[in-house]
Amino acid sequence: MNLAPRDARWLYFWSDPQVPPGWTMAAGVTEAPGSIVRVRSKDDPDPVAKGYAKKVLEVRQANAASH
């Protein structure tokens, strides 16, 4: 996916986890997994969550069902 630099900057600062000044990355943890960004396209309008994103969504669904 390509974004204009201005849009990429907005997305970077909008999403979690926040990256502290001077750091180059930050990883989510179970208690605060961060943002899931799904990139849709004409060829794949409803992409399947995979890997870490899939695990985060499963945990969120399980927590919602238990409340």
* Residue-level pLDDT, tens digit, the chain, 67 residues: 578 999 988 988 888 888 888 998 888 776 788 888 788 889 999 999 988 888 888 888 898 898 8
Query: Are 56 and 38 in contact, with CB atoms under 8 Å apart?
Result: no
pLDDT of residue 16: 87
Scored b (16 or more CB within 10 A) or e, 10-49 reads: eeeeeeeeeeeeeeeeeeeeeeebbeeeeeeeeeeeeeee
Amino acid at 8: A
pLDDT at residue number 41: 87
Q: Distance between CA atoms of 49 and 47, rounded to whole angstroms?
A: 6
